Amino acid sequence: MSNFIGSVIIQENDKSGDILKGDCPVCGEDMYLKNFTKYFTIFDKSVFRLELIDTFYQCDACQSSYNTSLKELVKLDDLKKELKFQDAGKLYAKALIAATTFMAIVDGDLDKHEQRSLHAVIGKYSNIADELIETMDFVKNNGNKNDYVYILLRKVRETLSAESLLSLLAESVKMIMADGKMEKEELLLINSFLLESGLPKSLYTILVDKIKA
């Protein structure tokens, strides 16, 4: 249904056209400067810019994204750079495990399918498997105690980008949904993940697109 007036958030290339050549921390391809911009809409047509939500670099090849500090990071020597990127990858994996475990226990218990999905992720990051199992067990037993899950998500949003956080949540939802449809509790949880990470609720539509992709 068309609304007379409303707003939409669009991902677009930054006007500066800034590119970091061959600097994708994950695959080594180019990183492009992009924005999430909120537009005012009339009958679902974007009319004018309301607000810049986030600016980040993104790789078109593997879709990884990183905040604008990447521009300075890539100037560091190889060892320092490598350590920074390893930390970022570790943070992403840890937050992914925490969010997915939390979503999985919302309906009471961790079923076989959910356990298998979690172990598949842990397998992908085998060098930090012990730490990830610790994270999974902590959330299994304590849920979001002391905002444990929210704090990790906020760190992903700050260290990587809003885009990374949306990709993480989409990955998490896909794992939980693989057994069928999303429960109402899980939908509500996704919304609170967005809000608690300081992202506007309107990014939900971009998240849904990522889930369907």
Distance CA 170, CA 32 (A): 22
Cβ of residue 21: shortest distance to Zn ion, in angstroms?
Answer: 12
Question: What are the CA-CA distances from residue 159 to residues 39, 56, 99, 131, 174 (Å)?
Answer: 25, 11, 17, 19, 23
Closer residue to Zn ion (CB): 26 or 211: 26
Smallest gap from residue 62 Cβ to Zn ion (A):
3
Of 35 and 64, which CB lies nearer to Zn ion in the complex structure? 64
**At how many degrees (to 10) do helices 129-142 and 78-105 cross?**
30
Cα–Cα distances (Å) from 72 to 23, 38, 64, 67, in that order, read 11, 27, 17, 11
Q: Pick the binder of Zn ion from 3, 5, 19, 27 (CB under 5 A).
A: 27
Q: Which stretch binds Zn ion (CB under 5 A): 19-27, 41-49, 122-130, 138-146?
A: 19-27
Residue 19 as a binder of Zn ion (CB under 5 A): the answer is: no
Residue 166 CB, nearest approach to Zn ion (Å): 17
Interacting span for Zn ion (CB under 5 A) from 16-24, 91-99, 106-114, 132-140 = 16-24
| Residue 67 and residue 139 in contact, taking contact as beta carbons nearer than 8 Å | no
Question: Phi and psi dihedrals of 56, rounded to 5?
Answer: -160, 165
Determine the Cα–Cα distance for residues 103 and 174; give it in Å rounded to an integer. Answer: 11
Q: Judged by CB under 5 A, which of 9, 24, 53, 96 binds Zn ion? A: 24
Contact region with Zn ion (CB under 5 A), list: 23-31, 50-58, 95-103, 189-197: 23-31
Contact status: 26 vs Zn ion (CB under 5 A): yes
Per the CB < 8 A criterion, the answer to whether 1 and 13 are in contact is no
**Please, which of residues 34-93 interact with Zn ion by CB under 5 A?**
59, 61-62, 64
Closest by Cα among 131, 130, 133, 128 to 115 = 133
Q: Which is nearer to Zn ion, 47 or 62 (CB)?
A: 62
Quote the least distance from Cβ 60 to Zn ion, whole Å. 8
Report the nearest approach of Zn ion to the CB of residue 203 (Å).
Answer: 22
User: Are the C-beta atoms of 43 and 2 separated by less than 8 Å?
Assistant: yes
CA atoms of 34 and 101, how far apart (whole Å)? 31
Closest distance to Zn ion from the beta carbon of 65 (Å): 9
Residues of the shown chain interacting with Zn ion in the complex, contacts defined by CB under 5 A: 24, 26-27, 29, 59, 61-62, 64
